[in-house]
Amino acid sequence: MKKWLMLLGLVPFLSLAGEFEPSLVVQTGKMQEGDLMVRNITDLAAGKSCLAFYIRTSGTSPVIECYPASSGFGANLTQVGHIKSQDMIIRKLIDSKNRMNCVIAYVGTPGTSPAVDCYPYQHLFKGKISEAGHMREGDLDVFRVVDPGNNKVCLVSYVRTEKTSPSILCYNSHAGKKGGLYQASYLRAGDLVVRKVKDVESGMACMVTYVSTPGTKTHIYCYEENPPPPSPMPPPARR
């Protein structure tokens, strides 16, 4: 009798258990370039293709970028650009199946994490990137990378300290050539550092901020400092 009472007492708890939901998230490919690992994860239910990036070193953390899967599932990845400048490594991959570019930046040291920015490509075979500017202010380095085939400029920033991780931001620019980067303003408030960096050729101003301690990561925010004036409204049509 006691056993039956015990089983009856479990019934309310069993009825609260959630229903099993099958997962449609699968690995559909992988790629290795040097110490960079890329795994393609597809969410079949949502029609999303995701790329997870990490560095094969101790203390690393991954990042992931997802975009619509144009057809079926999976990706077709090819490296089309590679830059090594001092401690910084920058790679550009194209996913020809889903018509996407991804620019990845990292420092090959323990404890780092990659930074990535992805955008649709305009031309399949015009995907090369090149370094087109470099600024060093204090412990901050900022690299200017151009992707002329897609009218893009990417800024990569990182702090030269232990276990640092870079940041990357890509924006539209028709100025696919070398251009100057310079610090236009500087602020230090306690441990926080903010530097205003100008990309002269692209007409962009970027705020780069970080805390000057080991293990830090920069953050970049860019905007058009002098945007073109709006087009005048056409006169109303005469009746």
Which residue range is the domain that position 62 belongs to?
24-69+77-224
Q: So what's the pLDDT on residue 15?
A: 47
What are the tokens at 233?
């409204």
- The reported pLDDT for the residue numbered 152 is 92
Q: Quick one: pLDDT at residue 233?
A: 63
pLDDT bucket at 144, cuts 50 / 70 / 90: very high
Pick the more confident residue, 215 or 32: 32
Burial 11-26 (b: 16+ CB within 10 A, else e): eeeeeeeeeeeeeeee
pLDDT at 159 over 70: yes
Averaged pLDDT for residues 83-107: 92
The percent of residues in the chain predicted with pLDDT above 90, rounded, is: 52
Q: Which two tokens stand for residue 10?
A: 């479990």
* Residue 146 counted as domain residue: yes
Residue 18 lies in a domain: no
Query: What pLDDT band is residue 6 in, cutting at 50, 70 and 90?
Result: very low
Per-residue confidence band for 206, with pLDDT thresholds at 50, 70 and 90: very high
0.75 surpassed by pTM = yes
pLDDT band at 10 (very low <50, low <70, confident <90, very high): very low
- As a whole number, the mean pLDDT across the chain is 84
198 with 205: CB under 8 angstroms?
Answer: yes
Higher pLDDT, 162 or 211: 211
Residue 53 in any domain: the answer is yes
> Looking at the domain assignment, is residue 3 inside a domain?
no
Residue 96 counted as domain residue = yes
Residues 11-60 pLDDT 10s: 444 445 567 666 688 888 999 999 899 999 998 888 899 999 999 887 78
For residue 208, give Cα distances in angstroms to 75, 95, 129, 191, 193.
33, 29, 22, 14, 8
What's the pLDDT at 183? 95
The total number of structural domains that make up the chain = 1
In a domain, 6, yes or no: no
Write out pLDDT tens, residues 166-192.
Answer: 999 999 987 666 678 999 999 999 999
Residue 131 forms part of a structural domain: yes
Tell me which residue of 144, 197, 207, 206 sits closest to 175, measured CA to CA.
144
| Highest averaged pLDDT of the listed ranges 58-72, 119-133, 171-185 | 58-72
Indicate whether 48 belongs to any domain.
yes
